[in-house]
Amino acid sequence: MVTLSRYAAVNGNENMQKAQEWAKKVAQYVDGKFGLSNVRVGMEVYGSVGRIYWISELESLEALARGAQESLADSGYMQMLMQATGLFVAGSVKDTVILGI
């Protein structure tokens, strides 16, 4: 089992609500696609306040690699990413991949 955690910093308080709404929408869209399952979304409230997280599970590292390729070819997903322009701080997206032992 593999856990994927992705976060991005919201670009200012004025974008907080829109970013949260978009984050929930994209989580719903990708759940069950690209090898992702049990996609959850949340916001950091201690530490780096204003980061939005997506956490999901995959069967394997191979599924992660396949899903990354599939997501790049999915026009609906690409359109959703374009809708997020300006909502998040440029360069703030970070992924963590955790392999179960």
What is the rounded CA–CA span in Å between residue 89 and residue 34? Answer: 25
For residue range 27-65, what is the model confidence (pLDDT) as tens digits? 999 999 999 999 999 999 999 889 999 999 999 999 999
Count the domains in the chain: 1
Domain that holds residue 12: 2-99
- Give pLDDT, residue 55: 98
Q: What is the mean pLDDT of the chain?
A: 97
- Give pLDDT, residue 3: 98
Q: Do the beta carbons of residue 24 and residue 75 sit within 8 Å?
A: no
- Give pLDDT, residue 41: 98
Residues 71-86 have a mean pLDDT of: 97
Concatenated DSSP letters for 66-94?
A: HHHHHHHT-HHHHHHHHHTTTTB-TT--E
Query: What's 86's domain CATH number?
Result: 3.30.70.100
